[in-house]
Amino acid sequence: MTQLQSLRGMVDLLPQALQRWQAVEAEARAHFQRSGFGEIRTPLMEPTDLFCRGIGEATDVVGKEMYTFNDRGERSCTLRPEGTASVVRSALQHGLLTQGPQKLWYAGPMFRYERPQAGRQRQFHQIGVEWLGASNARSDVEVIALAWDFLASLGVGGLELQLNSLGSADDRKGYRTALVAWLEQIAEQLDEDSRARLSTNPLRILDSKNKATQALLESAPTLIDALSSESRTRFDLVQQGLTTLGIPFCLNPRLVRGLDYYCHTAFEITSDQLGAQATVCGGGRYDGLVSQLGGADTPAVGWALGLERLLLVLEAAAKADPVGRAAQVVTAPKPDAYLVNRGAQAEGAALALARALRSQGLTVELDSSGAAFGKQFKRADRCGARFALVLGDEEAGRGEVLIKPLLEKGDEATWAIDAISAMVDVLQSR
């Protein structure tokens, strides 16, 4: 019988890797809680219309990448390709916006049908924040600072904040007209994807990865020149706020983001930890999305980052600095003690001792193999435990356990098995 395999682009998270993920998620949770953001969890599957209306039918995500199917009730359903639209839908459905501005964060799997590659799978995972009801420039600065500080706290090096303003809907409408007129003059020189976008989503051409097209766009009109005085003043305030906080940034007039619901501030945070600048976080303002999904006009701002890409960056940072913060994040925690035991009486005593020490908050690895002490000690060394606790039938008969340092110099010592508090003090000593 053929052995079953996971689907292409759907990757298992095994225990050793998952410990790294959990360390990143715990750091994120701490930052979000300190900033007043509450966690929200939405379904993996949503009505397809949510993303068609929210993201935009002309985008690559909706047009090419969504996992969409009809359920048994002939309803069109989609595995969520991003988190923002689902969060807004939930806030509207449950009346959260009637209670004032909402600061929300989420984490979980998303799905897009695209070519799998390092840091980008068909099932991928995001962490994101959404601040619904926040209108002023200061809220843009605050969410950008939250992303910057979170990444810095993980030890991500070579951070760069790229910033742009997409202006208001009227600004973009005027700019779109000017851009299309300019692009039509060079349409034959554009790459195939850009020519297709010319009639559907011309602003996305600015984000083309084709080098020849990028060279042509150096002479294109810029959105920043099309901003109204109000939009320009708002963008100036964002820049002033970031400068006040000491967060460096560079202006990128080609930064448009990939989804239709953005307006005004757009940003990406990149890192050179992988050798070239790689985007690890992106977001911006989306004041029109709530009304597009059936709610009242509501300003909003947020961002998202991909965990797979972030973990690659952290692993590179850890290699560059083995004793730095990133190395601490990606290194699996070591047990406080490894309990070596053998013999009928010793095995029962070891189980009880492990349970007692774990109840005091210690991490204790209990060897249940019954193998010779030599093999068990090799496992103790491999797992990185600071101490080995040794129990044979003779020690169990005397009600004793031997504590042996593994990573540091020190003498072996024998303790009464029931002297739990004293053993905890020894095992927690640094």
The domain total for the chain is: 2
Specify the CATH number for the domain of residue 281.
3.30.930.10
Which pLDDT score, from 0 to 100, does residue 426 have?
Answer: 87
> Percent of the chain scored above 70 by pLDDT?
98
pLDDT digits (tens, 9 = 90+) for 350-359: 999 999 999 9
Residue ending a domain, among 294, 328, 362, is 328
> DSSP letters along 62-114, please?
IIII-EEEE-TT--EEEE-S-SHHHHHHHHHHTTGGGGS-EEEEEEEEEE--S
Number of residues that make up the chain: 430
Tell me, yes or no, whether 178 lies in a domain.
no
319, 349: one domain: no
> Is it the case that residue 137 has pLDDT exceeding 80?
yes
Q: Which residues of 244-265 are buried (b: 16+ CB within 10 A; e: fewer)?
A: eeebebeebbbbbbebbbbbbb
Tell me, yes or no, whether 94 lies in a domain.
yes
249, 294: one domain: yes
Cβ distance 80 to 45 under 8 Å?
A: yes
403, 284: one domain: no
pLDDT digits (tens, 9 = 90+) for 316-352: 999 999 999 999 999 888 899 999 999 999 999 999 9
Q: Closest Cα to residue 278, out of 108, 107, 106, 162?
A: 162
Q: How far does the chain reach from its first CA to its final CA, in angstroms? A: 53
Tell me, yes or no, whether 147 lies in a domain.
yes
Q: Which amino acid appears at position 372 of this protein?
A: A
pLDDT digits (tens, 9 = 90+) for 377-403: 999 999 999 999 999 999 999 999 999
324, 368: one domain: no
Specify the CATH number for the domain of residue 359.
3.40.50.800
Cα separation, 167 vs 153, in Å, equals 31
Tell me, yes or no, whether 146 lies in a domain.
yes
Domain range enclosing 366: 337-428
Tell me, yes or no, whether 108 lies in a domain.
yes
> Percent of the chain scored above 90 by pLDDT?
68
Average pLDDT, the chain: 91
Cα separation, 259 vs 84, in Å, equals 11
Which pLDDT score, from 0 to 100, does residue 187 have?
Answer: 78
291, 420: one domain: no
> Is it the case that residue 152 has pLDDT exceeding 90?
yes
Cα separation, 285 vs 279, in Å, equals 18
Q: Closest Cα to residue 224, out of 253, 250, 182?
A: 253
pLDDT digits (tens, 9 = 90+) for 280-306: 999 999 998 999 999 999 999 999 999
342, 324: one domain: no
The more confidently predicted of residues 410 and 52 is: 52
- In three-state secondary structure terms, 159 is strand
57, 144: one domain: yes
> Is it the case that residue 258 has pLDDT exceeding 60?
no
